[in-house]
């Protein structure tokens, strides 16, 4: 059973939710024994990382992406991912559907924002971070959302992001205006 769990963790990039392990046929006691042996690390409630795996390049984003697969990385976390800000986010900024239940995550700290309709579904890019599927809003959508939430994140952050985006490769004013509308 331990070998099944190890291979499952390796296929999933080293991070796995308990519910996924149980669906794949791994018993919760197997995970508990692996934690006691030092083979697994419990990152947060229901989220485990195999010890011999590489540490993800963005461990907080990867952990949130595994715990909340329907969520989308947004605002300052997305700006940091695209290197459009000098700020270091102390929380993972996560967009969730207006009608969904907010995630209960002990670690890393998460700040949720509720979006609905097209504001939630449009402009989502898929990225692969160390074998973990990461949903992040596009650069243009992120900048438009920053101005929308300027009272929560600060106007100076918005202006800095817009300036850095304008100076970067791939500047697309049409897409920026489309998301701003």
Cis peptide before 108 (omega within 30 of 0): yes
**CB under 8 Å to 120, separation ≥6 — which residues?**
72, 95, 96, 97, 98
pLDDT higher than threshold 70 for residue 4: yes
Task: Give the pLDDT band of residue 153 (cuts 50, 70, 90).
Answer: very high
> According to the model, what pLDDT value does residue 154 have?
94
- Which uninterrupted H or E stretch holds 94? strand 92-97
Q: For residue 64, give both structure tokens.
A: 């949130």
Name which residue leads in pLDDT, 133 or 149.
Answer: 149
Residue 56 confidence (pLDDT): 66
Please give the order of strands across the beta sheet that includes 15-17.
Answer: 15-17, 47-50, 40-44
Mean pLDDT over 108-135 rounds to 91
* Sign of CA pseudo-dihedral 6, 8, 14, 15: negative
Q: Which of 143, 175, 140, 180 is nearest to 159 (CA)?
A: 143
- Mean pLDDT (whole number) for 133-143: 96
- pLDDT at res. 132: 83
Secondary-structure percent of the chain, ordered helix, strand, coil, rounded to 5: 45, 20, 35
Share of the chain above pLDDT 70, in %: 98
User: Does pLDDT of 139 surpass 90?
Assistant: yes
Higher pLDDT, 78 or 133: 78
**Would you say residue 53 has pLDDT above 90?**
no
Question: Residue 54 above 80 pLDDT?
Answer: no
Q: What are phi and psi of 6, to 5 degrees?
A: -60, -45
**Predicted local distance difference test score (pLDDT) of residue 10:** 81
Q: Which of 49-63, 88-102, 136-150 has the lowest mean pLDDT?
A: 49-63
Closest by CA position to 157, among listed 84, 91, 95: 84
- CA distances in angstroms from 128 to 10, 17, 34, 56, 87, listed in the order given: 15, 18, 27, 11, 23
Mean pLDDT of 121-134: 89
Q: What is the average pLDDT score of the chain?
A: 90
Q: What's the mean pLDDT in 74-80?
A: 96
Residue 70 pLDDT > 70: yes
For residues 111 and 91, is the Cβ–Cβ distance under 8 A?
yes
Structure tokens at 161: 């992001």
The pLDDT value given to residue 128? 87
């Amino acid at each position: 059973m331990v070998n099944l769990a190890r291979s499952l963790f390796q296929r999933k990039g080293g991070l796995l939710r308990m519910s996924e392990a149980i669906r794949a046929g791994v018993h919760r006691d197997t995970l508990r024994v692996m934690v006691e042996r030092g083979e697994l690390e419990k990152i947060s409630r229901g989220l485990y990382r195999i010890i011999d795996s590489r540490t993800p390049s963005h461990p907080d984003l990867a952990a949130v992406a595994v715990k909340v697969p329907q969520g989308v990385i947004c605002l300052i976390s997305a700006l940091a991912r695209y290197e459009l800000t000098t700020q270091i986010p102390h929380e993972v900024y996560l967009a969730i559907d207006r009608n969904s239940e907010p995630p209960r995550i002990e670690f890393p700290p998460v700040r949720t924002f509720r979006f609905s309709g097209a504001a939630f579904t449009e402009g989502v890019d898929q990225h692969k971070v160390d074998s973990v599927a990461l949903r992040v809003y596009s650069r243009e959508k992120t900048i438009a959302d920053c101005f929308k939430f300027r009272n929560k994140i600060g106007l100076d952050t918005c202006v800095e992001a817009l300036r850095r985006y304008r100076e970067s490769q791939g500047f697309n004013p049409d897409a920026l205006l489309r998301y701003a509308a």
